[in-house]
Structures are given as structure tokens and as C-alpha cells.
């Protein structure tokens, strides 16, 4: 069965790169450009994994993560933070809040991101 990925990202260039790479790698892709879209996207079509940017218009990725973790129906949702915010305290905060991974965009190619997703989804 095709694994579903929800990408929370507001940069059109990065959306294009990541969705193309992930779709070509066999994932079923959806995109949310704001924090509110992430939450409604999760309710409409539960993904296997959420790639969550921290800097989003309106609700930040931190707020989105906090909302998701309050709802028991999302307990099994795997979340990878995919952000340019790469300071140690931010990485620790993300993992403490329940993310299974924290990838700094500048340090990972789209191919490496696909590999990380595959590792986490098994």
C-alpha cells in the first residue's frame, strides 16, 4: 500500500522539489501551506508521516505539533520536523514534543530525506 506523506511547507520552490522527489519515490503526497491547513489535512486524510516546517504562516510548527499531540487519535502519527531552525535547543524541543526526527533542510538532500522517511516508516 502506498504510504501517505503530508508536507507542511510554505516555500513554493521547496514544495516543488520535495513533492516531486517523494512522489517519484512512490509516496502519496499532500501539501499544507499553513498550520491550519496541516490540522485540517490530517483530519481529511490521515498520513503515515508528517514533514513539519516550524516557520509557517499563522500557526507555527510548534503550535501545530502541540495541537497534534493533544489529540489521542494522532498518537501513532510519525512527525519529522523539516526546518532551517537547527539550533540544539530547537532540535531537543522538537523531539521532546514528540517528533520522531528533526532534519535541518540545509543538511539533507531530498534523496536523503526520502531515506530518512523510509527508515522511520520501516
pLDDT at 40: 94
Count Cβ atoms below 10 Å from residue 5 Cβ, excluding itself.
24
Q: 4-121 has which CATH code?
A: 3.40.50.2300
- Answer whether 42's CB lies under 8 Å from 77's CB: yes
Residues 67-98 have pLDDT tens digits of: 999 999 999 999 999 999 889 999 999 999 99
Domain ranges of the chain: 4-121
If 0-12 CB within 10 Å is exposed, 13-18 middle and 19+ buried, where does residue 34 land? middle
Q: With 90 as the cut, is the pLDDT of residue 1 above it?
A: no
| Residue 8 and residue 56 in contact, taking contact as beta carbons nearer than 8 Å | yes
Q: What's the pLDDT score for residue 64?
A: 97
Q: What pLDDT sits at residue 16? A: 97
Whole-number mean pLDDT of the chain?
95
Q: What is the pLDDT of residue 31?
A: 97
pLDDT value, residue 33: 97
DSSP 87: -
pLDDT in tens, 17-68: 999 999 999 999 999 999 999 999 998 889 999 999 999 999 999 999 999 9
Alpha carbon distances (Å) from 116 to 56, 57, 67, 71, 78:
22, 26, 24, 25, 12
Please give the pLDDT value at position 70.
95
Amino acid at each position: 500500500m502506498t504510504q501517505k506523506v503530508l508536507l507542511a511547507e510554505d516555500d513554493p520552490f521547496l514544495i516543488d522539489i520535495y513533492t516531486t522527489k517523494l512522489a517519484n519515490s512512490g509516496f502519496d503526497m499532500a501539501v499544507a501551506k499553513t498550520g491550519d491547513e496541516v490540522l485540517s489535512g490530517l483530519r481529511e486524510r490521515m498520513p503515515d508521516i508528517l514533514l513539519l516546517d516550524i516557520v509557517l504562516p499563522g500557526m507555527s510548527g510548534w503550535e501545530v505539533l502541540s495541537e497534534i499531540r493533544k489529540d489521542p487519535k494522532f498518537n501513532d502519527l510519525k512527525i519529522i520536523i523539516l526546518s532551517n531552525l537547527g539550533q540544539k535547543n530547537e532540535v531537543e524541543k522538537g523531539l521532546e514534543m514528540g517528533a520522531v526526527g528533526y532534519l535541518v533542510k540545509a543538511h539533507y538532500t531530498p534523496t536523503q530525506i526520502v531515506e530518512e522517511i523510509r527508515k522511520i516508516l520501516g
